[in-house]
Amino acid sequence: MPSHLRRVGDLDPRIVTIDFAPEVREAFRDLAAALHFSDQVGADMLSIIREWAEGKKPTVQDVMISLPLMAQEAWEHINATGDKNAKAAWDNISSELLERGFTMENRRWMTGQGEPTSKAR
């Protein structure tokens, strides 16, 4: 097996965390502010957006689940209200993710505990 495939195969989306670039976190802050009083965005989703803006490092699995739902709720708000600030904030998240991105950290499992540790490998 090629070495790059072996390395990818060793990554567990429940363990690997995402550290968004500062510009991406700022874009999440702008989105949280724009959606603060939205009837289309649930409190749980707004909490996730705020956590990511504050620097919480979600797992890859969390991002893969939450980001599409975040987009859906944000666009429901944008389409229902015509909120240009929310649209600009979402567009900024999209562009900053591509331009500035994120780093990943692979956490290791503690034997017998079934939960990842916060120690970097």
- At residue 85, the pLDDT reads 96
In SS3 terms, 65-120 reads as: HHHHHHHHHHHHHHHHHCCHHHHHHHHHHHHHHHHCCEEEEEEEECCCCCCEEEEE
What percent of the chain has pLDDT above 70? 80
pLDDT class of 7 with cuts at 50, 70, 90: low
pTM: 0.79
The angle formed by the CA atoms of residues 114, 25 and 9, to the nearest 5 degrees, is: 40
- At residue 45, the pLDDT reads 97
Per residue in 25-81, pLDDT (tens digit) is 999 999 999 999 999 999 999 999 999 999 999 999 999 999 999 999 999 999 999
- At residue 107, the pLDDT reads 72
- At residue 8, the pLDDT reads 54
